[in-house]
A and B are shown apart, each in its own frame.
Chain A
Amino acid sequence: MFSSFGIAFRALYAHKTRTFLASLGILIGIASVIVMVAIGKGSQKEVMDIIAGMGENLITVNAGEMKRRGGRLRLTGNVTTLTVRDANRIMDEITDVEAVAPYEEKRMVAKFGNNSAETTVAGSSSDFPVVRGYRIESGEYFSEKDSKTANRVAIIGTTAVKNIFGEEDPLGQVIKVHFIPFKIIGVFEPKGVDTNGLDQDDLILIPISTYMRRIVNQKHITRIFIRASSRENIGKASEAISELLRESHKLTHDRNDDFTLISQLDMEELKKETTEMFTKLIVGVAGISLLVGGIGVLAVMLISVKERTREIGVRRAVGATRRDIIRQFLYESLIIGFLGGGLGIVLGVGLTLGLTHWGDWTLILDQNSIWIASWACAGLGVLFGVFPAIKASKLDPMEALTTE
């Protein structure tokens, strides 16, 4: 009990409330670091899941140049060079491509009996579910034959079902879009929102041939979805697609692309950047709260040194060296640091697990953050304890003894 550590422990034990208050700042700091990092990791995973859910090894070709506006990618200009023929050529000519789905969409009103609702009406090919990761919940997807003959059949998403049919079973029913009747032959499984927060289930999908001929009457499309054969081949496939489209659109060397390619990897990179920035921000905020906690330790240690000036004098008189005194006070601040850190880790991990278990949050506990937090509180204890400890050791023994 008389080692420097024991002395420090005793001194802290004698002032329980003060010790707790001193460590409170570090406690809150550490807990917030852990929870915030978990939130950051969780939201990153959520976004990555959404990207993966958009379709495995997905490459998207958009007509025209895409630019970031207000944080979202938007098409600029009206480019009419991208066609279904391009989509077919990509499928036929590029080996690393597994499936291709040309795509065109428009917000339109769909009617069923007296009900009507605005929804996204889209046209695509029979590969669309494979490429975009949509699954049929009931009924069936349209066939090659439906595509070839431009049949008026439709697959509907669950949000559109709710808006148009309410509780009624949509299978086999006929809806009218643009005064043209379509027979519902299938319903998609719900898919949730995309990375931009748009509902992917508010959709009526019809064969692209039907769409081009009966709905819009145009030759060009705005998008082609492509599935590469593997994640590793995404880059290679992208290059080949780009080359093919430039050749197909007869673009000479001096002209810019009239299309934009975005692969799953690009999307991940993009989102990673934003989530990483978010993570840096919260770590910064947590760092500031840790600093404040450290200053709390500093204040309490300075008070402790002042209060125990006589004790320091006595210890020096009976043979304690400066180093003994430094050690005693450093242990004290180190214990405060570890106490705050330990409780902070318990609170942080508890909150993280609690919010995941009972709350509607996706939090991922990062073991690194716990390690870093432990080192941080040890570091804080030493850093903010050094000054008071040195101050204590520099006291003149005689003066310390005669202090009132």
Chain B
Amino acid sequence: MNLIEMNSICKRYHNIGFETQVLEDVTLHIKEGDYVSIIGPSGAGKSTLMAIMGCLAQPTSGEYILDGEEVGKLNDRKLSRARNEKIGFVFQAFHLLPGVTALENVILPLVYAKRSPGNAKDKARELLARVGLEHRLHHTPGQLSGGEQQRVTIARSLINDPRIILADEPTGNLDSKNGIETMKTFDNLVKEGKTIVLITHDKEVAQHAGRIISILDGQIASDRRVNHAENTEVRST
């Protein structure tokens, strides 16, 4: 069963006087448990695709079915709930709330959850420990390094146990060591059965996925499956 099903998605932005076509007739199906990289040069429409996938923006035309529900027909409350329950976001710019501790940042999605578990704090602590931040629970983003902030973001994306993790350039603001750490975390999440969609312009990062979709000028240019043998081969050449 397809967890993400996009059919003929178009997205146009209206600016004063002219119109920009960002996505043109994108059809894309992603199965549960898939590990997908979306690559392409900047301005190709990767982020817009992710915004639509994450229910943060609506397509101009086309149909998007998320987990069997047609997103275009959802009202604000149901859309918000879909974001809250089905999707975990990891942003390049982290997007943590400033002045709020790591622990509280991780709990944030549960604040808006329909059923907030009583052990929210324990759960958040557990997740922060998992990303190696058990000693940084009460630090605010300003007191954390970039790598640490990214790990808080990952913990936040997992708190409500979503089925999909959408990561937009998760290594973009990190040094190589932290980048490798982050990618390891994603690799482990896939093993646990999460569906991961990774947006990047870094070919090496993209290689972690089992499927690489490349976007060019708002259209899918290629969509190929990779296995590890191939992976190594690409690297060596």
Is A318 within 8 A of B107, CB to CB? Answer: no
B5 at the interface (CB under 8 A from A): no
Chain B residues, Cβ within 8 Å of A320: 80, 111-112
Residue pair A2, B104 in contact (C-beta under 8 Å): yes
CB-defined contacts of B47 to chain A, threshold 8 Å: 402
Which of B57, B98, B104, B160 touches A397 (beta carbons < 8 Å)? B57
Which residues on A sit within 8 Å (CB–CB) of B96? 314
CA distance A316 to B47 in the complex (A): 17
Q: Which of B56, B85, B156 contacts A316 (CB 8 A)?
A: B56
Is there a chain A Cβ closer than 8 Å to B76's Cβ? yes
Chain B proximity mask over A392-404: 1 for CB below 8 Å, otherwise 0: 0000111001100
Q: Is there contact, CB below 8 Å, between A317 and B97? A: no
A3–B108 Cα distance when bound, in Å, is 10
**Residue among B77, B104, B156 making CB contact with A318, cutoff 8 Å:** B156
Q: Contact flags (1/0) for A200-242 with B, using CB distance below 8 Å?
A: 0000000000000000000000000000000000000000000
User: Please, how many angstroms separate the alpha-carbon atoms of A311 and B57 in the complex?
Assistant: 17
CB pair B108–A315 under 8 Å, yes or no, is yes
The answer to whether B99 touches A310, judged by C-beta atoms less than 8 angstroms apart, is no
Partner of A319, one of B48, B57, B99, B112: B112
Q: Complex: how many Å from CA A402 to CA B112?
A: 22
Which of B77, B95, B104 has a CB less than 8 Å from the CB of A317? B95
User: Is A344 part of the contact surface with B, judged by Cβ < 8 Å?
Assistant: no
In A297-319, the 8 Å CB interface with B consists of 310-311, 313-319
A312 to chain B, nearest CB (A): 11
Question: What chain B residues lie within 8 Å of A398 (beta carbons)?
Answer: 48, 51, 56-57
Residue in A1, A3, A10, A317 whose Cβ sees the most chain B Cβ within 10 Å: A317
Query: B83 contacts which of A319, A322, A323 (Cβ < 8 Å)?
Result: A319
A321: Cβ under 8 A from any B Cβ: yes
B91 at the interface (CB under 8 A from A): yes
Residues of chain A within 8 A of B179, CB atoms compared:
none
* Contact A2 B111, CB 8 Å, known A316-B80, A319-B81, A319-B85: yes
Contacts of A317 in B (CB 8 A): 54, 56, 83, 89, 95
Interface size on A, residues (CB 8 A): 24
Contact A321 B56 (CB under 8 A): no
Q: Which residues of B contact A318 (CB under 8 A)?
A: 83-84, 89, 108-109, 112, 156
Neighbour of B76 across the interface among A14, A310, A313, A321, CB < 8 A: A321
Q: Are B109 and A319 in contact (CB under 8 A)?
A: yes
Q: Is the CB of B56 within 8 A of A397?
A: yes
Q: How far is the CA of A323 from the CA of B109 in the complex (A)?
A: 15
**Is residue B129 within 8 Å, beta carbon to beta carbon, of the partner chain?**
no
Q: Is A324 an interface residue (CB 8 A)?
A: yes
Chain B: which residue is nearest A401 at the CB level?
Answer: B95
- Cα A3 to Cα B112 with chains together (Å): 9
Q: Which residue of A lies closest to B80 (CB)?
A: A321
CA distance A396 to B51 in the complex (A): 11
CA distance A322 to B112 in the complex (A): 11
> In the complex, how many angstroms separate the beta carbon of A21 from the nearest chain B beta carbon?
20
Residues from chain A with Cβ under 8 Å of B226 in the complex: none
Min CB–CB distance B157 → chain A (angstroms): 9
Residues of A contacting B160 with CB < 8 Å?
A: 319
Q: B113 at the A/B interface (Cβ < 8 Å)? A: yes
Binary per-residue interface labels of chain A (372-404) against chain B in the complex, 1 for a CB within 8 Å, 0 otherwise: 000000000000000000000000111001100
**Nearest CB to that of B113 among chain A residues?**
A319
What residue of chain A has the Cβ atom nearest to residue B77's Cβ?
Answer: A321
Report Cα–Cα, A310/B77, bound state, in Å.
Answer: 20
B66 CB → nearest A CB, Å: 14
Residue of B nearest to A322 (CB): B76
A397, B87: Cα distance in complex, Å: 14
Cα of A316 to Cα of B56 in the assembled complex, Å: 8
| B72-104 vs A, Cβ < 8 Å mask (1 yes, 0 no) | 000011001101110001010001111100001
* Closest chain A CB from B97 CB (angstroms): 6
Closest to A320 in B: B112
In the complex, are the beta carbons of A324 and B57 less than 8 A apart? no
Q: Complex: how many Å from CA A243 to CA B47?
A: 96
18 cross-chain CB contacts under 8 A: A2-B104, A2-B107, A311-B97, A313-B95, A314-B95, A314-B96, A314-B97, A316-B56, A318-B108, A319-B83, A321-B80, A321-B81, A322-B76, A324-B112, A396-B56, A396-B57, A401-B56, A401-B91
Q: A315-B112, A321-B112, A324-B80 are in contact. List 6 more A-B contacts (CB 8 A).
A: A317-B83, A319-B83, A322-B76, A396-B56, A398-B57, A401-B56
Chain A residues near B (Cβ < 8 Å): 1-3, 10, 14, 310-311, 313-324, 396-398, 401-402
Query: Which 8 residue pairs are nearest across A and B when measured between Cβ atoms?
Result: A319-B84, A319-B112, A318-B109, A321-B80, A398-B51, A398-B56, A397-B56, A398-B57
